[in-house]
Structure 1
Amino acid sequence: MQRIGIFVCWCGLNIGAVVDMSRAVEAVSKFPGVVYATDYKYMCSEPGQEIIIQAVREHRLDRVVVASCSPRLHEATFRKTLARAGLNPYLLEMANIREQCAWVHQREPEKATQKAIELIRRAVSKVSKLEPLFESTIPVTKRALVIGGGIAGMQTALDIADAGYQVILVEREPTIGGKMAMLDKTFPTLDCSA
């Protein structure tokens, strides 16, 4: 059975002044698979991250939901926190209750609270289906293939070579130059095009 932990952030007054935090934490703590739920003023702060690390260790959590601001802002922070706690950093799901609840329902705390609970419910459902991911690297050969030996292809090949990379230029015709090779003279200098 999975052991999911939920961490609800007040984001100072951004969320805490609108969403009923104690009611939200009480409601989400009853979701299937949830063994721990808490809230804190600033979950992204060092003390907030320590709360997550301690809870992962003490309650043997294997999945984490953070309900806070946009994942764009702190998803990397919380992934690093999970890694520091010894948990796969990809077993994290975030619920954006700041922008999607507190900010859009500033004058409707009941709606904001209900919506926050529902967004967290969805995050719990999703995190329960996540599989651990592992980072890997693939060696890259720093070499370029340029297809077409016309003017654009030749210039591209020269630019890449000037940048210090090996270039392979492929042309289907027996000579390079493309349409330029068919011209007698070039404008405006009337130089020979060949």
Structure 2
Amino acid sequence: AEEAKSFPHVAYSTDYQYMCSEPGQEMIKNAVTEHNLDRIVVASCSPRMHEDTFRKVLGDAGSNPYMMVMTNLREQVSWVHNKEKDAATLKAIDLVRAAVYKVANVVPLKEDYIPIEKKALVIGGGIAGMQSALDIADCGYQVTLVEKEPTIGGRMAQLDKTFPTLDCSA
């Protein structure tokens, strides 16, 4: 955190061992409001597990939740370099530096809602297409079934008997 304070574009830097905990999240929320931060880097654990957590924290703080970059120091540094403290520190600094440069170029995203119609188009009137159309219709959607041949049924309609009962297929 001390090294990051000297990076370009860094207005505030701090460290906390468990940033994904409630107190850690509260620290982020307070820092965003107190320092008027418009984007952040979270250098801690796996984004796969906690990215949504930190996006929610940003949203709760009144900031755009997509103006954040996470760098995974736990799996990419701590776990793989646990016997090489100096090398681990240098790698962590490089990863944080890269995340700072990345977040500096992030473009704000916004969520948009588009109304959808409850309609579906099924292309192909074979057995699979007909069954799909029926299943979709059972879910309350209007279905349009399109088939290039003059009749539906596909290859099944061309057979005179079906396995295993040898029933008439037509």
Q: Same fold (TM over 0.5)?
A: yes
**Which of 8, 11, 14 lines up with 1:38 in the alignment?**
14
Instruction: Give the Cα–Cα distance (whole angstroms) in 2 for the partners of residues 59 and 152 of structure 1.
Output: 58
Report the alpha carbon displacement of residue 161 of structure 1 after superposing the two structures with TM: 2.5
In structure 2, the residue matched to 1:62 is 38
**Is 1:174 the equivalent of 2:150?**
yes
Gaps of 5+ in 2: none
Which digits, 9 at most, give the CA deviation of each residue in 1:62-86, with x for residues without a partner? 1111110011111111111111111
Match of 1:16 in 2: none
Higher strand residue share: 1
- 1:174 and 1:106 mapped to 2: Cα distance? 69
TM-score by length of structure 2 reads 0.91
CA distance in 1, matches of 2:95, 2:166: 70
Identity of aligned residues (%): 68
Deviation at 1:188, TM superposition (A): 4.4
> What is the TM-score of this pair, normalised by structure 1?
0.81
Structure 2 counterpart of 1:64, one-letter code: I
| Deviation, structure 1 residue 183 | 3.0
CA–CA distance in 2 between the matches of 1:183 and 1:95? 60
CA 1:174–1:100 in 2, change beyond 3 Å: closer, same or farther? Answer: same
- Note the 1:63-102 alignment, pairs <5 A: 63-102=39-78
- Which consecutive residues of structure 1, in runs of 5 or more, have no partner in the other structure? 1-24
> What secondary structure does 2:12 align onto?
strand
Match of 1:12 in 2: none
Further displaced range: 179-188 or 94-103: 179-188
Paired with 2:72 and 2:107, the residues of 1 have a C-alpha distance of: 21
CA deviations 1:7-31 (Å, max 9, x no partner) are: xxxxxxxxxxxxxxxxxx2211100
CA RMSD of aligned residues (A): 1.6
Separation in 2, partners of 1:119, 1:96: 8
Deviation string 1:168-187 (CA, Å, 9 cap, x unpaired) is 11111221122233333444
Q: Judging changes above 3 Å, is the alpha-carbon distance between structure 1 residues 185 and 26 closer, same or farther for their aligned structure 2 residues? A: closer
- With a CA cutoff of 8 Å and minimum separation of 6, indicate the structure with the bigger relative contact order: 1
